[in-house]
Amino acid sequence: MQDTGDFNDRVSDAPSDNWVYRILPPWLWPYAQLARWDRPIGWQLLMWPCFWSATLAANAAIGEGLYSGSLLVSHLLLYFIGAVAMRGAGCTYNDLVDHEIDMEVARTRSRPLPSGRVTRAHAKIFIGLQALVGLFVLLQFNWFTVFLGVLSLGIVALYPYAKRFTDWPQFYLGLAFSWGALMGWAGILGGLSFAAVLLYAASVAWTIGYDTIYAHQDKEDDELIGVRSTARLFGDRTRVWLIGLYGLTLVLMFAAFALAGANLIAFLALFGAAGMFAWQIVRLDINDAAQCLALFKSNNRVGLIIFFGLFVSLLFAIP
């Protein structure tokens, strides 16, 4: 195996000790980097709204006499596989669209496409392979959920271009990354309800918040090349905006949980998530790129806390 101390095949903002470099052969490394397998935070953040929604729907299903534990577990497994596959396909597509921009940004110019380690043709084939995995996962659900999944493709296709025409590309990311908040509910109950819509809106607000923190890493390069973001828009008022966005997330989730009949444990988890949000806001230094990345990644724990609360709530509600 190639010496893992050789950084010529690495991406500058990814950990060099990831399993990708220990297990996969070197010729697969660029494809793993395109799919961001060496940076799991992306698929984790894509997965949590799916997990929240499916588990919240299971809580609601108990009241309707429709609960199935085996169905929920199988769906959670499918959402995990789908999140990894579709996040990988989305990142590969995004890198194709942003090929020239990535060459101008210090943090991204070492990625496989701008560095020349993967051709555009091979990247397109790789998107197709990942999309096939996503399609296989999608077809395991009811037809209403399949329809919802297909609808999301339009938003996914638009997102990479959003930074060119709006200061709110994080909003478009939120629309795409939060879609699982609708899918999870539909997969369990075969339709949608106001609770699912509220959970989706909460997830959108959450995504705008955490991705604004992430975008502060690149704001100087973005300004030079004309790329727009909420980080540039909010600037020194980012903390104030985060209070609003994270506050809205909590209010909408509280309402969704109440409508779905979740019990006290789920609401206590929201209290824990509020503490994590407050910690992010207090700690934030928008001029410290390393800290911004760390705070962004801490949102995985937020997602886990909320899911844990919903899951334990479900266990106590089962007759």
* Among the listed residues 199, 307, 313, the one whose alpha carbon sits nearest the alpha carbon of residue 256: 199
Q: What is the pLDDT of residues 226-283, one digit of tens each?
A: 889 999 999 999 999 999 999 999 999 999 999 999 999 999 999 999 999 999 999 9
**Distances, alpha carbon 203 to alpha carbons 73, 85, 309, in Å:** 22, 20, 16
Q: What share of the chain has pLDDT > 70, as a percent?
A: 95
User: What pLDDT was estimated at residue 4?
Assistant: 37
Choose between 28 and 225: higher pLDDT. 28
Q: Predicted confidence band at 10 (pLDDT cuts at 50, 70, 90)?
A: low
Q: Predicted confidence band at 73 (pLDDT cuts at 50, 70, 90)?
A: very high
- Is a pLDDT exceeding 60 seen at residue 99? yes
- Contact predicate 202/253, CB 8 Å: yes
User: What pLDDT was estimated at residue 7?
Assistant: 46
Token pair belonging to 275: 């503490």
- Is a pLDDT exceeding 60 seen at residue 141? yes
Distance CA 244, CA 263 (A): 26
* Among the listed residues 277, 268, 279, 285, the one whose alpha carbon sits nearest the alpha carbon of residue 302: 277
Q: What is the pLDDT of residues 189-220, one digit of tens each?
A: 999 999 999 999 999 999 999 999 999 998 88
> CB burial class (10 A; 0-12, 13-18, 19+) of residue 119?
exposed
User: What pLDDT was estimated at residue 220?
Assistant: 82
Q: What share of the chain has pLDDT > 90, as a percent?
A: 74
Q: Predicted confidence band at 15 (pLDDT cuts at 50, 70, 90)?
A: low
Q: How many residues does the chain have?
A: 319
Token pair belonging to 26: 């070197």
User: What pLDDT was estimated at residue 218?
Assistant: 83
Q: Position 47: which residue type?
A: M
Residues 27-315, CATH architecture: Orthogonal Bundle (1.10)
Domain range list for the chain: 27-315
Query: What is the 8-class DSSP label of residue 118?
Result: S
Mean pLDDT of the chain: 91
- Is a pLDDT exceeding 80 seen at residue 102? no
User: What pLDDT was estimated at residue 18?
Assistant: 77
Distance CA 24, CA 17 (A): 12
Distance CA 244, CA 83 (A): 28
* Averaged pLDDT for residues 109-127: 89
Lowest mean pLDDT among 110-119, 128-137, 233-242: 110-119
